[in-house]
């Protein structure tokens, strides 16, 4: 009898502990005082980024290309992806320009005479794409960046400039909609240009209440280089 019971026990499966999913592990780590943290509720989980100290000493040989660099401020931030053709088209001269960040562009190999001509032209006619230009200096740095955000789930009743500006207000300043979004040629996803100080790879989940009805929206940054 005892031998039969022993055989039956051997046939029973061993109760291995269940492995937790990634979501459960994250949830456990963010459970504080019986309440789930704001990061988990919003779909954003903070991960600490390791910071390393790096010391760089430059030389005049490597930075000589900066001697004839001027910095211009764009009137229309929306042209940041095509500054080279815009600037050359308006000024009618061979000029290399590079988008730097925020509303700043770099004008390469620009001597003082050409720079003063551009300044005079803007002051007299205002017919340039630049508010101002100034010689580059080490203390000049972009304070913001421009980037496109994709938003899924926007209800049709909220599909207009005013409400898109509200949707992205938590990330930064609304600049404009792309053409397909503006003309309603594609309405499964919206593409919105913003000016922001947030770090790259923005990802947000939004709960939007439109006329009393709740809508779940997903917002992601367009991670590409132009």
Poorest-pLDDT segment among 69-73, 82-86, 199-203, 222-226: 222-226
Residue among 208, 34, 132, 109 at smallest CA distance from 218: 208
Averaged over 213-218, what is the pLDDT? 97
Q: Measured between alpha carbons, how far is 40 from 43 in angstroms, rounded to an integer?
A: 5
Does the structure show a pLDDT above 60 at 27?
Answer: no
Closest CA to 147 of 194, 182, 105, 100: 194
Q: What is the pLDDT of residues 124-136, one digit of tens each?
A: 888 788 999 999 9
Domain at 65-135: CATH code = 3.30.70
Which pLDDT belongs to residue 87? 77
Q: With 50 as the cut, is the pLDDT of residue 5 above it?
A: yes
**pLDDT attached to residue 22:** 41
Strands (E) located in the chain: 31-32, 35-36, 70-74, 97-101, 104-107, 130-135, 145-152, 173-177, 189-196, 203-210, 213-221
Domain-wise residue ranges, the chain: 65-135, 145-221
Per-residue pLDDT at 96:
86
Q: Where are the alpha helices (DSSP H) in the chain?
A: 2-11, 22-29, 38-41, 60-63, 83-91, 112-125, 161-167, 179-182
**What's the pLDDT band for 47 if we cut at 50, 70, 90?**
low
Averaged confidence pLDDT in the chain: 82
pLDDT at position 193 over 60: yes
Residue range 90-102, pLDDT digits in tens: 766 677 889 999 9
16 pLDDT tier (thresholds 50, 70, 90): very low
Reported as a pLDDT band with limits 50, 70 and 90, residue 85 is confident
pLDDT of residue 39 exceeding 60: no
Sheet holding 173-177, edge to edge: 173-177, 189-196, 145-152, 213-221, 203-210
């Amino acid at each position: 009898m005892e031998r039969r019971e022993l055989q039956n026990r051997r046939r029973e499966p061993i109760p291995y502990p269940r492995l937790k999913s990634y979501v459960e592990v994250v949830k456990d780590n963010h459970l504080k005082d019986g309440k789930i943290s704001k990061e988990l509720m919003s779909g954003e989980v903070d991960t600490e980024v390791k910071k390393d100290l790096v010391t760089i000493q430059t030389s005049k040989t490597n930075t000589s290309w900066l001697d004839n660099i001027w910095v211009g401020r764009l009137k229309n931030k929306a042209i940041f992806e095509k500054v080279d053709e815009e600037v050359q088209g308006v000024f009618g001269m061979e000029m290399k320009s590079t988008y730097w960040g925020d509303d700043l562009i770099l004008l390469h190999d620009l001597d003082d005479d050409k720079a003063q001509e551009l300044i005079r032209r803007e002051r007299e006619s205002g017919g340039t794409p630049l508010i101002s230009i100034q010689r580059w200096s080490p203390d000049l740095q972009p304070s913001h960046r421009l980037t496109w955000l994709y938003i899924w789930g926007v209800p049709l009743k909220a599909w207009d400039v005013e409400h898109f500006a509200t949707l992205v207000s938590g990330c930064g300043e609304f600049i404009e909609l792309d053409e397909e979004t503006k003309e309603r040629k594609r309405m499964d996803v919206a593409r919105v240009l913003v000016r922001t100080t947030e770090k790259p790879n923005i990802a947000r989940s939004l709960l939007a209440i439109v006329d009393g009805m709740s809508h779940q929206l997903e917002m992601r940054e367009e991670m590409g280089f132009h």
